[in-house]
Amino acid sequence: MQVYLDNGATTKLDESVLEEMRPCFDIKYGNASSLHKFGREARSAIDKSRKVIADSINAEPDEIIFTSGGTESNNLALKGIAFANKHRGDHIIISKIEHDCVLNASRWLSKNGFNVTMLDVDKYGIVDPQALKKAITNRTILVSIMHANNEIGTVLPIEEYGSICREKNVLFHTDACQSYTKIPIDVKSMNIDLMTLNAHKIHGPKGVGCLFIRKGIKITPIAHGGGHEFNLRSGTENVPGIVGFAKASALHKKQDIQKMTELRDYLIKRLLKIPETQLNGHPEKRLCNNASISFHFIEGESLLMHLDMQGIAVSTGSACSSHSLEPSHVLLAIGLKHEIAHGTIRFTLSKYTTKQEIDYTISKVNEIVNKLREISPLKKGMKYTKEYKDEHHHSHDEETGHHPVF
């Protein structure tokens, strides 16, 4: 049996999305900047897609800027706002659990004249709104905190963060790549100024995403050329990708969310019956398809490879950092020690996931975990006592704070 449970990394392209994209490759294949019929057809397809995505988040079509995906959108948001607002301030606030592209864009900005503050999170991965309020200064120009974490699935209270930022006259950006279509998003009621979305996490094509930019916000482009996308993102538009993105954004159904939620809870409940395991992230405020489980006394990489040999695809964390031997920065931020973080697996479901696949996965995880623990050097001569737990898991009772990042 082949079981794909790495939908947090990417998803299977929906067949109807492929059908929607197909004419853009061989019939309506013009450059959207061309004035002839082929170009006008491509432009019309982009305009229709822009409206579909804008309507899905209660935005205006000209507030949607198409990009190559989440990484580019996040870079455009952080760097574009930073350089457009240098006259106002030089301070940017992010959280400790942001995606690598936000962390690395922030590192780059810190080397180019900006001050970056990274906020702590609690044991579930949530930034304390009061800590955010305290961190904002008269030099703060942007706050960027993700809507839902890609590794542990926690959904953060971004409406509250947005309200604080609006009150303080600071722009608020959120990375919603993991939450889009899984959780209702209204950019107006949630006080969102900029938001990152992408297609391949919602059964759309890879290589396309967008940045919502609230009307009236000035932003400096990071790619210069022919002035595409309202002069904010030059480059010939990826018409098939944009069309597929819009189609995928319109496909989500409440019953799909309900099905994923039920299978997720079933998976979590069964896996936590394995001794010496723990769930990471918030037990309730979490993505409908995410289960992050730490298995003590074993290496997550070993478990992943053994599952792969049984036809089961999972992840030890974010796909973008899967080649790194370092433990997940997200798991460390919520208080896990290195050895526990290294024993963590992320299971992410999709609307295509079946109960049969989940039952097969549960059975194989049980079997493999038992085998790996038998040969684990971590467990030899060691009992899983309360003292061991205390030693290998940080306390989360301390007040959430903030400190400089770089």
Instruction: CATH number of the domain at 288, please.
Output: 3.90.1150.10
Residue-wise pLDDT for 173-221, tens only, equals: 999 999 999 999 999 999 999 999 999 999 999 999 999 999 999 999 9
Q: What are phi and psi of 336, to 5 degrees?
A: -80, 140
Per-residue pLDDT reduced to its tens digit, 321-373: 445 568 899 999 999 999 999 999 999 999 999 999 999 999 999 999 999 99
Domain count, the chain: 2
Question: Which one from 24, 210, 288, 320 is the annotated catalytic residue?
Answer: 320
Confidence of residue 85 (pLDDT cuts 50, 70, 90): very high
CA 199/CA 206 separation, integer angstroms: 6
The pLDDT of residue 392: 44
User: Any idea which residue has 């990375």 for tokens?
Assistant: 175
CATH number at residue 52: 3.40.640.10
The pLDDT value recorded for residue 323 is 57
CA 224/CA 344 separation, integer angstroms? 42
Does residue 186 share a domain with residue 199?
yes
Angle at 53 between CA 172 and CA 222, to 5 degrees: 55
Is residue 302 domain-resident?
A: yes
More confident residue, 103 or 380: 103
The whole-angstrom distance between residue 334's C-alpha and the CA centroid of its chain comes to 17
CB-CB neighbours of 308 under 10 Å: 11
Question: Do 249 and 204 form a contact (C-beta atoms < 8 A)?
Answer: yes
Write down the pLDDT at residue 378.
Answer: 64
Known active-site residue 24: no
Q: Which residues are 294's β-sheet partners?
A: 278, 344
- 401 within domain boundaries: no
Residues 237 and 352 in one domain: no
Q: Are residues 211 and 301 in the same domain?
A: no
Strand-pairing partners, residue 93, are 117, 143
β-sheet bridge partners, residue 67: 209
What whole-number distance in Å separates Cα of residue 59 and Cα of residue 196? 13
pLDDT confidence band for 140 (50 / 70 / 90): very high
Mean pLDDT, rounded, for 9-22: 98
The boundaries of the domain holding residue 389 are 3-8+253-395
**pTM (two decimals):** 0.91
Residues in the chain: 406
330 and 350 part of one domain: yes
Do residues 364 and 307 lie in contact, with contact meaning Cβ atoms separated by under 8 Å? yes
The runs of H, that is alpha helices, within 217-299 are 228-231, 239-249, 254-271
CA 51 to chain centre: 23
406 in a domain, yes or no?
no
Look at residues 251, 276, 310 and tell me which one is the last residue of a structural domain: 251
Has residue 404 been placed in a domain? no
